[in-house]
Structure 1
Amino acid sequence: MELNEVREHIQQTDQQLLELLSKRRKLALAVADAKLNQNKAIRDQKREEELLLRLIEAGKPLELDAHYVTRLFHVIIEDSVLQQQAKLQGELKGMQGPSVKVAYLGGQGSYSYWATHKYFTRRAEQIVDIGCDSFNDIVKSVETGHADYAVLPIENTSSGSINEVYDILQHTRLSIVGELTHPIDHCVLGLAGTNLNQIRQICAHPQVIAQCSQFLLGLSNVKVEYCDSSSDAFQRVQQKNDPTIVAIGGEAGGKIYGLQVLASDLANQRDNVSRFIVVARKAVTVAKAIPAKTTFIMFTGQQPGALVDALTILKQHGISMAKLESRPIPGNPWEEMFYVDVFANLNDYAMTRALEELNRITKFIKVLGCYPSEDIEPTQVS
């Protein structure tokens, strides 16, 4: 066959694959209904392992190696689990609907913009974007009713925790109702025809600068200009129309503003991933069939062993901790507030008892939210 003919067959095959993936997703949602009726957990890793082993064997006569089949179906299984969780949780708390108003950092093309659409595409037919210039503005949008939800970045595998967001959570009445992780691929983006050797100024958000610090150390005579968001950086480069000025951000976002990639893979760590939380005015109840996380803050005081005693309570009740973060308490020099993420449903007996005991030995404790966990670890097969 001629090359064009082969490409045409590939296009037809790709279309068939998309149609089959759509059909499989609809069947996965039907499974969610059946699991709900039978009171079964959304995820069954034993069944996933059996499925992967069967698919690996079925792929052998088709000349599809095990690694290829496993990687492909890890993605499909993850999507099925997240789709089922979103459907079940949406029905439980009435989140699914024709439209949601969501506040996030920056404008169209920012990392928070993509994370917002990634999360809410499973949960609403239409997303009304409310771009904001600061984390405080994002939270106020929800507190005042201007937005239904807010999406906030809270930590990154390269730069660590975003302290400003942790501090805001201490004072707001909003509750965490969801989470997601989103891969972050930083690129240098400039005007068409720009050369890296021409660069004299880089526009980027402070978190982006921190995540690409090693790349920036290799540059000389380059000024860094801090921006409110990646989309703000893209806009500045576009408006200044100067080939010596570039932005650092995501490729997809930069293309919206007509910028081209000059360099990629800039992050200090190869696997650069950000975790975002979703907050709302009302707390949610997480379905028992869905793995849940609970986040709370506590002040243990400064007596010897106070933090150890608090964490021992979690251990005694079989509660696994996902994160422990300390932040200074304003007005109390050298005293710390602890933020704790645990893998537990707030309505579980063990979690209820643990909080009761923590209330007795700590000076202050506040639950920030219980929400579905989107940590979908791939099922491994030998």
Structure 2
Amino acid sequence: MTNTVAIQGIKGSFHYEVAQDYYHNDIVVDECLSFDKLVDSLLDGRSHQAVMAIENSIAGSIIPNYALIDKYQLHIIGEYYLNINHNLLALKGQQIADIKEVCSHPMALLQCKEFFKIHPHIKLVEDADTAEVALRIKTYNLKGIAAIAGKGAANLYDLDILAPSIQTIQDNSTRFVIVQTSNSVISKNQINKASLKFMTDHKRGSLATVLNVMSDCRLNLTKIQSLPVIETPWKYAFFVDITFDDYEDYDKAKNILKLMTYDFKVLGEYKNARS
């Protein structure tokens, strides 16, 4: 049975590239133009798993996606790091001087802002998806409009690359997580990374105490992100990623943290893509 995987965007997007690499092409993709639609695809059973960008080395965390994973009880079962190369794409025969407007996802525009400072004649317009803009340019023969997307989109939609690698910082990487509605079933000896959520008391040193437990149990904190608790003004939940060499160390820390924090939740236990 072929696995159906939800992606944010369409064929040619970076999510599509990750899905192809992670699953080795043995999938059917459900193209979703928003992360909310991606979650709906999972909850409705149209897809078995989903690829979701969670953070970028330049732009930082994609905070709404942390909230989606938490709210809808999704489970992180894996991760993938993709080096992002943004290219300026347009119809064949166009030059940068011909471009009046570039449409792209806000994250892509943010990552390329220095490039557009030297081309002030180009108007920046936020759009839903990088590859969808490329498809639109091709379908409607849109002159004077450019997209920001990867080489895969240029090849798929037969567009010229007017300028390659226009991202401000060349070493630009995005971390994607693989999510599903049920927990992953892999052996403990394969698990060396976990994503957790918890809240602490509004007391001095509460968070420091939690971090000390992690350190004492030989866990490596690789990410910490706070999100406001909507129902309780000025209360925050913490989302953390931790890596470890021994599952027993992690299991010990998990049992302690359950007792000393509130709303403790394991968002995922999986294999570290960088180990």
* TM category, shorter: over 0.9
Cα distance in 2 for residues equivalent to 1:288 and 1:166: 25
- 1:210-289 alignment runs, 5 A limit: 210-289=110-189
What is the SS of the residue equivalent to 1:332?
coil
Aligned to 2:269: 370
Q: Which has the higher contact order (CA 8 A, sep 6+)?
A: 2
- 1:1-382 alignment runs, 5 A limit: 98-121=1-24, 126-290=26-190, 292-344=192-244, 348-376=247-275
TM-score normalised by the chain length of structure 2: 0.95
Kindly provide the amino acid, as one letter, of the partner of residue 211 in structure 1.
Q
- For residues 34-58 of structure 1, give each alpha carbon's deviation from its aligned partner in whole angstroms, at most 9, with x where no partner exists: xxxxxxxxxxxxxxxxxxxxxxxxx
Cα distance in 2 for residues equivalent to 1:246 and 1:240: 13
Bigger fraction of residues in strand: 2
Offset of residue 332 of structure 1:
2.5
What RMSD in Å do the two structures reach over aligned CA positions?
Answer: 1.7
Offset of residue 141 of structure 1:
1.0
Contact kept in structure 1, 2:5 and 2:30, CA below 8 Å = yes
Kindly provide the amino acid, as one letter, of the partner of residue 364 in structure 1.
D
Offset of residue 254 of structure 1:
2.0
What is the SS of the residue equivalent to 2:2?
strand
What is the SS of the residue equivalent to 2:177?
strand
Structure 1 window deviating more from structure 2 (211-220 vs 271-280): it is 211-220
Kindly provide the amino acid, as one letter, of the partner of residue 15 in structure 2.
S
Kindly provide the amino acid, as one letter, of the partner of residue 113 in structure 1.
Y
Cα distance in 2 for residues equivalent to 1:157 and 1:309: 28
What is the SS of the residue equivalent to 2:176?
strand
- For residues 306-357 of structure 1, give each alpha carbon's deviation from its aligned partner in whole angstroms, at most 9, with x where no partner exists: 1111111101111111111111221333322111111138x92222221222
- Between the aligned residues of both structures, percent identity stands at 28
Bigger fraction of residues in helix: 1
User: How many residues get paired?
Assistant: 275
Larger Rg: 1
Structure 1 outlier segments of 4+, above 3 Å: none
Cα distance in 2 for residues equivalent to 1:171 and 1:327: 12
Contact kept in structure 1, 2:218 and 2:244, CA below 8 Å = no
Kindly provide the amino acid, as one letter, of the partner of residue 48 in structure 2.
D
Kindly provide the amino acid, as one letter, of the partner of residue 356 in structure 1.
N
Cα distance in 2 for residues equivalent to 1:182 and 1:275: 7
